[in-house]
Structure 1
Amino acid sequence: AHAVAIVGFGEIGPFGNARARWSIEKSQRLTSADAIELAWLCGHIKFENGEWLDLESGDTVDVNDLVNTYDLNSAIGIRENAVFDPNMVEAYSEVLLSEDLVFHVPDADIADSFKRQDPANTHVVVAEDGFKVVRKAGARVRVPRIDPIDRDIAGQLPAGFDPTRLGFDSQQLEQIDPVAIYNLLATAEAFRTAGIDPRELWAEIHPSRIACTQGSGIGGMRALRRLYADSVLDQNKQSDVLQETLINVGAAYPGMYIYGGYGPMINPVSACATAAVSVEVASDLLTARKADFVVAGAFDDFSKEGARGFAEMQATISADERARRGFDPDQSSRPCDARRGGFVESQGGGTILLCRGDTAIELGLPIYGLVAGAWSAADGLQKSVPAPGPGVSAIGAGGLSSPLGQALDTLGLGADDIGVVSIHGTSTDANDLNETQLHSNLAKALGRSAGNPLPVIGQKAITGHAKGGAAAWQLIGLCQSLNEGIIPPMHNLDEPDRRLDDRAPLLFSDETLNYGPGAIRAGILTSLGFGHVGAAVCVANANVLLEGLSETELEYYSQRRDARWNYQLKAQYSVMLGEQQYFGGGVDKTLSADQEYELLLDPNGRIVL
């Protein structure tokens, strides 16, 4: 009962949410329910007078043909870049003026500011309508030009996605960086999947025991651009933009607007391993009893600055390379395939809600999985910042007595109970070769039985690489895999890299494997980031905990859990039916300053509305 339970999750990414992503991942098609939700999310339909209507025409729509009606498959996943035009990206180059440059300004102060910047090459002349500034021939000035980025695809939020339809106003969207907007949306969804309103949580748990370990790999790119580039260009000035560049601020917003925690606030920045490290910190807080409920996860965005940076590192697949190999956008991310050409960027991330198993049972929260263990590791002496290394493999040092072996044993599991591996799988040589070797060695060190295959999931083939949020998608997908007993295929694995032939017991299947609900007892994911940070999370099936309950305890828990599942479904439908907002806009504080101190200093204090 002291195991760490995953009780809720929210995902925002190229498929909108975890439900649609899982459908595509396991079966390559959207269900009817997915199509309704996606068509609504993309702004195509609305519910009115008991039926679904086309948002523009007001005509009734055929809910069984929404995928074709609105071509939903082209609106999701990895597709051509619609965030910015990679062929029209500006750069500012220094040139020498071959003749005088003359321009007008309205007042003396502005004119003087130009003269002070280059007094030797500038003079000011009074004009009828203000002042004429003359920048002399031979002066150096910067002139904008087009400098294309040879990266034309990304995993993007669904086409038509608009936060103003989900509860945000224009002022919030202008002020709050998109990374924090993603977090707010995913966290609101996570509480719905947990079947609990945050206000109910306040009545059950002291607010100082509600913690946050969310982070980001890069942070708010729009805010960074506004602070460091737009300010130099004297445009789009936002007075409070500095705060939006701070990664912990993006993590703070859900606490400010949604769940109102007062507990530990530890916000990791671990590049592409951030979400996994976030879960590790959350698990440690719960195990050490420094918190009773933790909001974990990570988010990142997709921007022209990041796209150029990764392109110059030759980390992502180029448009020329993609065309040369004949890959469609959704064929371009190819973990473990011999024809891979680099990773594909993506935007979004995910929120994970965690608490101890006894808390989950007591509150009747749905348990989607158990964190058997979570670890991070460095890679020793290295000369290359991005190159992944073997550090994570140390969790298997000692076999059955290793950190991983002991974590499994605590739950009554062993090496052969790990039924699936979700790899970081970036579709790069450096990552795929190292990571598969790591898992092969790890399985053998744990004493996995010879001939017991270990299937691999390479999720980034369909999602692209979310950077900091990548492991959140992996973890949610792993929970879905364990709950349904289904292991998705290795998408885009058309020509397996023969250098991976010696990676036994790993199994790279290009077909969906269906073992049935409850058959997969545990799984493990790895997440590797720049700066030589690696992380692993081992997840056990919820049944491992529930099987230890007495018949009476299980019946009591199941009734409360089922009620929360009903709450979850009602909340999700209410959002689509327009009865409540996806993001409710925040909860107002009900305490005075004196009441707030009184609450925090009372160990039995609770917020009851």
Structure 2
Amino acid sequence: MSRPCTSTSGGFVEAQGAGVVVLMSASAAIAYGAPIYGIVGMSGTATDKQGRSVPAPGKGILSSARESPRVTRMLDVSYRRQQFTAQKAALDQWKSAELQAIAGDNDDDLDMATHEIEATYKRQYQALQDTWGSEFWKRNTDISPLRGSLAAWGLTADDIGLASFHGTSTKANDKNESSVLNTQLKHLGRTPGHVVPAVCQKWLTGHSKAAAALFMLNGVLQSLRSGLVPGNRNADNIAAELKQYDYTVFLSKTIQTTGIKAALIKSFGFGQVGGELLVIHSDYVLAALTQEQLEAYNRQLRKRSLKADRYWQDVLIGKHPFVQIKHRPPFTEQQEESVYLDPLARVHFDPISNSYKF
């Protein structure tokens, strides 16, 4: 019944449910062997005309493409790598000199000074990664958030291979959403004629009354992993007003691509509140690992996968519920205050009691 982007669209079809994802830093996911389905390259919201819940489309999410473009070397991955390497060498030299300077101290002073130097080095190293890696575009009016987030991974607007539309099957939303995406891509200099497939997932799922955008995110993650762009089976007659846009194509059948590097997700709510996500293929973070790091990650991943399969089996046979509720903290009342005041306090898992303890 839901017919997004067609001449016969007549309003959204209500559904139930919500999507769920687990968001982690790349370093944590790699250390724990968690499966990486995609990378959140950018997230943004806009409340351009936010007010009472009037279902009128807004264009505020266009601001993710905002820039006053000038030629800048910061978009060049090779240039940023060169600068990072040079500054890291200087930081390494500083650390070596500091450690040599305290070499003659007594054991207690040496341990304290070494800890301080290591902590400072770690903070400075992280700042270098941010400056030349993922955050170089921030507070820079020459580079839009969308362009900068793509460039952090060596990508451009031409590398966006899928646009997941909010696609409510209302005439106002479908036209506005197509217009916003078209304007963004044109402003970012996407090659004319290089269209982006628009996926309107609500033709199948309806419009959930909970976290609808997470329905879409899980769908996009599946597309990134498989290279499949799902068609909107109800799109048998595309609305005439949508045919004016140069950068979108509305598919009625699923197609197999050679791979999708990046995807854009839009979520437009009542009261003209908009949201947007740029999702990058997981290969881009795995490609940054050394061979040794990648092999170690894959070992952890296989181990976690086996544990997850066993957990599911135990749930299905009734050995334990899927969600196991914690009934008490992992520390005693006598330990509570000291735990809160110690920044290095950690718990460990006790397999015998199947609980965490301090």
Q: TM-score when scaled to structure 2?
A: 0.73
In structure 2, the residue matched to 1:582 is 322
Q: Which residue of 1 aligns with 2:152?
A: 410
Alignment check: 8 A CA contact 2:157 2:189 kept: yes
Partner of 2:246: 504
Structure 2 SS opposite 1:349: coil
Q: Distance in 2 between matches of 1:590 and 1:383?
A: 45
1:55-454 correspondence runs (5 A) = 332-380=1-49, 385-398=54-67, 401-454=143-196
Instruction: Name the SS for the 1:439 alignment partner.
Output: helix
User: What's the CA shift for 1:477?
Assistant: 1.1
1:587 is displaced (CA, Å) by 4.9
Taking the aligned partners of 1:595 and 1:430, their CA distance within structure 2 comes to 59
Task: Report % sequence identity.
Answer: 37
> What's the offset of the Cα at 1:503?
1.8
Give, in whole Å, the separation in 1 of the partners of 2:237 and 2:41.
34
User: CA–CA distance in 1 between the matches of 2:220 and 2:321?
Assistant: 28
User: Any unmatched runs of 5+ in structure 2?
Assistant: 70-74, 76-142, 349-355
Asked if residue 605 in structure 1 is aligned to residue 345 in structure 2, the reply is yes
Look up the equivalent residue of 2:275 and give its one-letter code.
Answer: A
Cα distance in structure 2, aligned partners of 1:570 and 1:418: 37
Aligned partner letter, 2:153: L
Separation in 1, partners of 2:267, 2:17 = 16
- Match for residue 494 of structure 1? 236
Q: Distance in 1 between matches of 2:336 and 2:231?
A: 51
* Other structure's SS at 1:494 match: coil
- Verify the 8 A CA contact 1:333 1:427 in the aligned structure 2: yes
User: Following TM superposition, by how much is the alpha carbon of 1:352 offset from its aligned partner in structure 2, in angstroms?
Assistant: 2.0
Pair 394,585 (structure 1): closer, same or farther in 2 beyond 3 Å:
same
Q: Quick one: structure 1 residues 584 and 451, their matched pair in 2 at CA, closer, same or farther if it must change by over 3 Å? A: same
Residue 351 of structure 2 is matched in structure 1 by none
1:582 offset after TM fit, Å? 2.4
1:541 to 261, 281, 285: 281
Distance (whole Å) between structure 2 residues aligned to residue 600 and residue 514 of structure 1: 53
Secondary structure at the aligned position of 1:352 is classed as coil
Q: Which runs of 5+ in 1 are unaligned?
A: 1-331
Matching residue of 2:215: 473
1:488-529 Cα shifts (integer Å, max 9, x gaps):
11131122111100122111111111124xx21110101011
Taking structure 1 as the reference length, the TM-score comes to: 0.44
Q: Which amino acid aligns with 1:345?
A: E
Q: Which amino acid aligns with 1:391?
A: G
Equivalent in the alignment of 2:206: 464
Q: Alignment partner of 2:347: what SS?
A: coil
Report if the CA contact (8 A) 2:50-2:272 is conserved.
no
Tell me: higher relative CO, structure 1 or 2? Use CA pairs within 8 A at least 6 residues apart: 2
* Preserved contact between residue 50 and residue 273 of structure 2 (Cα < 8 Å): no
- Partner SS for 1:350: coil
CA contact (8 A) 1:338 1:495 kept: yes
Rounded to whole Å, the distance in 2 between the matches of 1:352 and 1:382 is: 29
Letter paired with 2:58: G
Inter-partner Cα distance in structure 2 for 1:573 and 1:456: 38
1:199 corresponds in structure 2 to none
2:20 alignment partner, SS class: strand
Larger strand proportion of the pair: 1
Q: What secondary structure sits across from 1:493 in the alignment?
A: coil
Q: For residues 567 and 515 of structure 1, do their structure 2 counterparts lie closer, same or farther at Cα, with a shift above 3 Å needed?
A: farther
Aligned equivalents of 1:338 and 1:467: distance in 2? 25
Structure 1 residues 583 and 443: CA distance shift in structure 2, 3 A: same
Q: After TM superposition, give the deviation of residue 351 of structure 1 in Å.
A: 2.3
Match of 1:89 in 2: none
3-state SS of 2:279 partner: strand
Return the alpha-carbon distance in structure 2 between the equivalents of residues 358 and 582 of structure 1. 27
Provide, for residues 129-166 of structure 1, a one-character-per-residue CA deviation record: whole Å limited to 9, x for no partner: xxxxxxxxxxxxxxxxxxxxxxxxxxxxxxxxxxxxxx
Given residue 48 of structure 2, which amino acid in structure 1 is its aligned partner? D
String of CA shifts for 1:48-92, please: whole Å, max 9, x gaps.
xxxxxxxxxxxxxxxxxxxxxxxxxxxxxxxxxxxxxxxxxxxxx
- Aligned residues of 1:377 and 1:533 also touching (Cα < 8 A): yes
Which of 310, 314, 330 in structure 2 is aligned with 1:570?
310
Deviations 1:193-220 (CA, angstroms, capped at 9, x unpaired) = xxxxxxxxxxxxxxxxxxxxxxxxxxxx
Q: 1:533 to 1:603 in 2, by over 3 A?
A: same
Matched length: 276
Counterpart CA distance in 2 for 1:364 and 1:384 is 43
Deviation at 1:435, TM superposition (A): 0.6
Is the 1:458–1:491 contact (alpha carbons within 8 Å) kept by the matching residues of 2?
Answer: no
| Distance in 2, Cα, partners of 1:383 & 1:352 | 30
Distance 1:571 1:403 in 2: 40
Measured in 2, the distance between the counterparts of 1:548 and 1:470 equals 32
Q: Once the 2 structures are TM-superposed, how far is the Cα of residue 571 of structure 1 from its aligned partner?
A: 2.2
Query: Per the alignment, do residues 369 and 341 of structure 1 end up closer, same or farther by CA in structure 2, a change over 3 Å counting?
Result: same
What is the alpha-carbon distance in structure 1 between the residues aligned to residue 160 and residue 320 of structure 2? 41
- Paired with 1:381 and 1:602, the residues of 2 have a C-alpha distance of 43
- Matched-pair contact (CA < 8 Å) for 2:162–2:197: yes
Cα shift at 1:473: 0.8
For 1:422, the aligned partner's letter is: S
Mapped partners of 1:408, 1:361: distance in 2: 22
TM-superposed CA distance for 1:578, in Å, is 2.7
CA change 1:483–1:592 in 2 (3 A) is same
CA contact (8 A) 1:459 1:474 kept: yes
Deviation for aligned residue 1:405: 0.4
Q: How many angstroms apart in 1 are the aligned matches of 2:239 and 2:178?
A: 11
Aligned to 1:554: 294
Give 1:460 shift: 0.8
